[in-house]
Amino acid sequence: MVRILQLFTNEGQLVKALQKGDPKAQRYFYEKYSARMLAVCVRYLNNHMEAEDVMIEGFMKVFERINQYKGEGSFEGWMHRLITNEALMRLRTRRHIEMDIDAPEIHQHVHVESVEHRLEADDLMVMLAKLPTGYRTVFNLYAIEGYSHAEIADQLGINESTSKSQLHRARTLLQQMISEVEGLKWKV
């Protein structure tokens, strides 16, 4: 694959070229952001092929809506929000977000004193991928994307208390997974 030389020295130039429908700008945009945006999609969808589809659909939305970007705030942040919404829409249409409202409450408190950086980011992403879809989605939106519980509830069509419960359960399960991994490392 031939990489396009950096033709756009700043974000403003890239946005203007995208607004004109410049194919070189679109290719540059894809090469610059595809890996990051694919990672976002994989965090939500937990399926690489489906995540690629959503990322491409998200990029198409960016190209369609580029004229709506008014230069307020970060372009990457604006694009990130569009692609995140695209991933959430895919979850909604597939009815994968099944909030475990009736699931028994997890009462076990796991205290992880210090992981001391023994776990790599990849290990944590694998653990995150193992969470049930509802837990993973709320955790991503709250802990990684920085949405409030009110915003999450609005985006997912759930109660704010359900969002809080899902986050609590996600954290508890992640703590249990970390404890198990750390316990195995200490035994080796």
Where in the chain are the domains? 11-94, 121-187
How many residues appear in the chain? 188
Q: Are domains 11-94 and 121-187 of this chain identical in fold? A: no
Cβ-contact 51, 41 below 8 angstroms: yes
User: Would you say residue 67 has pLDDT above 90?
Assistant: yes
Q: What are phi and psi of 146, to 5 degrees?
A: 85, 20
Cβ-contact 31, 3 below 8 angstroms: yes
Residue type, 116: E
Q: Report the mean per-residue pLDDT for the chain.
A: 82
Q: Report the alpha-carbon distance of residue 104 to residue 171 in Å, rounded.
A: 15
Q: What is the pLDDT of residue 78?
A: 94
- Residues 38-53 have a mean pLDDT of 92
Task: Kindly indicate the confidence band of residue 93, based on its pLDDT and cuts at 50, 70 and 90.
Answer: confident
Token duo for residue 66: 């580029």
Contacts 24+ apart (CB under 8 A), 96-104: 96/133, 97/133, 97/134, 97/137, 97/156, 98/132, 98/133, 98/134, 99/134, 99/156, 99/158, 99/162, 99/166, 100/132, 100/134, 100/135, 100/166, 100/169, 101/162, 101/165, 103/169
* 11-19 helix and 23-45 helix, angle to the nearest 10 degrees: 100
Cβ-contact 126, 151 below 8 angstroms: no
Is the pTM for the entire model greater than 0.85? no
Topology of domain 121-187 in CATH is Arc Repressor Mutant, subunit A (1.10.10)
Topology of domain 11-94 in CATH is Rna Polymerase Sigma Factor; Chain: A (1.10.1740)
User: Would you say residue 159 has pLDDT above 60?
Assistant: yes
* 23-45 helix and 121-130 helix, angle to the nearest 10 degrees: 60
Q: What is the pLDDT of residue 160?
A: 93
- Residues 113-120 have a mean pLDDT of 50
